[in-house]
Amino acid sequence: MNPEDITKTTVAHRINTGTGKIQYNAMQIITAAKQYFKKNAFATLSIMADDLYPYDTWNFCYGWAEYKGGSGVFSLARYDPKFSDPDYDNADRDDLILIRACRILTHEMTHMFGIFHCIFYKCAMNGINTEEEANRSPLDLCPVCLRKLQLNIGFNVLERYTKMLNVLNGFPDVFKNDREFVAKRVDYLSKQGYSMAIQPKQQMLQYKNPIYDTKKSAKKKQMH
Ligand SMILES: [Zn+2]
Ligand SMILES: [Zn+2]
């Protein structure tokens, strides 16, 4: 998909009084992005280089996503250590941007699969409001949220962890803790054979994208 120039739309923006940097209204981007939806897409996540805010009364947000509408947005701006410290010159700058971006990206995408914030365990779905919270948030889901996601979209847990491990193996130093956690899950589930036992019944549990549900219910109304 080609990048779209959001400044050419009517999305509201402002200069943040604390940072002196431009910010765009995340809620309006979520709506504006719907004109670019592909027909066969489950959801669309917009990626911004500039900072975001969800409501006029909020200082900023890392990202925002709909639980049902299939649209979300997140910004790379605050993942760069230079955002808060223009003199930051450490060699880990690129790694930090990658880690933070992956954490928020997976968080916002999981919202779009109908999962709310998690208050049970340390989890990718814990609410994130500060840089410190973003740094310590794990990349993967706790058992409660994993189960919710499985019920919503249906997948084999072992297969999912195996695919995740393949990706994380490409960045062994950057995602050291996450990689170790996922490797342990793959090892454990391979031995226990649990992944087959909790495979959902696809016909019952397949998540329905509300965009298409609306069309279906419209059809139903016509039929009756
Ligand atoms: Zn969230
Ligand atoms: Zn959780």
CB atoms within 10 A of CB 224: 5
Q: How many CA atoms lie within 13 A of 115 on its CB side?
A: 28
CB atoms within 10 A of CB 196: 11
Domains and CATH numbers, the chain: 6-213 (3.40.390.10)
* Exposed / middle / buried, residue 53 (Cβ in 10 Å: 0-12, 13-18, 19+): buried
Ligand nearest to the CA of 120: 2
What is the per-residue pLDDT for 151? Answer: 87
Report which of 99, 95, 38, 103 is spatially closest to residue 74, judged by C-alpha positions: 103
Query: In angstroms, what is the span from residue 220 Cα to ligand 2's centroid?
Result: 36
What is the per-residue pLDDT for 7? Answer: 60
Query: In angstroms, what is the span from residue 160 Cα to ligand 1's centroid?
Result: 22
User: Could you tell me if 124 and 149 are in contact, meaning their C-beta atoms sit under 8 angstroms apart?
Assistant: no
Q: Which residue has the higher pLDDT, 1 or 137?
A: 137
Q: How far apart are CA 224 and CA 218, in angstroms?
A: 10
Q: How far apart are CA 219 and CA 224, in angstroms?
A: 9
Query: What are the tens digits of pLDDT across the range 147-188?
Result: 999 888 888 889 999 999 999 999 988 899 899 999 999 999
Ligand nearest to the CA of 133: 1
Query: In angstroms, what is the span from residue 33 Cα to ligand 1's centroid?
Result: 19
Quote the DSSP letter at residue 78.
G
Cα 151 to its chain centre, rounded Å, is 18
Q: Which helix (H) or strand (E) holds 161?
A: helix 157-168
Residues of 131-140 as b/e, b for ≥16 C-beta within 10 angstroms? eeebeebbbb
**Phi, psi of 64, deg, nearest 5:** -155, 145
Please determine, for residue 192, whether its predicted confidence score (pLDDT) is greater than 90: no
Query: What are the tens digits of pLDDT across the range 45-87?
Result: 899 999 999 999 999 998 888 877 888 898 999 888 888 888 9
Report which of 123, 112, 181, 99 is spatially closest to residue 152, judged by C-alpha positions: 112
Q: What mean pLDDT value characterizes the chain?
A: 81
Ligand nearest to the CA of 145: 2
Percent of the chain with pLDDT over 70: 81
- Cα angle at 142 between 136 and 143, to 5 degrees? 165
Give the N- to C-terminal CA distance of the chain in Å, as an integer: 40
Please compute the mean of the pLDDT values over residues 115-120 and round it to a whole number.
Answer: 92
What is the per-residue pLDDT for 123? Answer: 93
Catalytic machinery residues: 108
Query: In angstroms, what is the span from residue 156 Cα to ligand 1's centroid?
Result: 25
Tell me the two tokens of residue 211: 């965009």
Query: In angstroms, what is the span from residue 137 Cα to ligand 2's centroid?
Result: 11
What is the per-residue pLDDT for 210? Answer: 43
**Greatest mean pLDDT among 22-26, 86-90, 147-151, 188-192:** 22-26
Q: Which residue has the higher pLDDT, 194 or 169?
A: 169
Please determine, for residue 213, whether its predicted confidence score (pLDDT) is greater than 50: no
Helix, strand, coil proportions of the chain in percent (round to 5)?
A: 50, 10, 40
Q: Amino acid identity, residue 224?
A: H
The SS3 of residue 213 is: helix
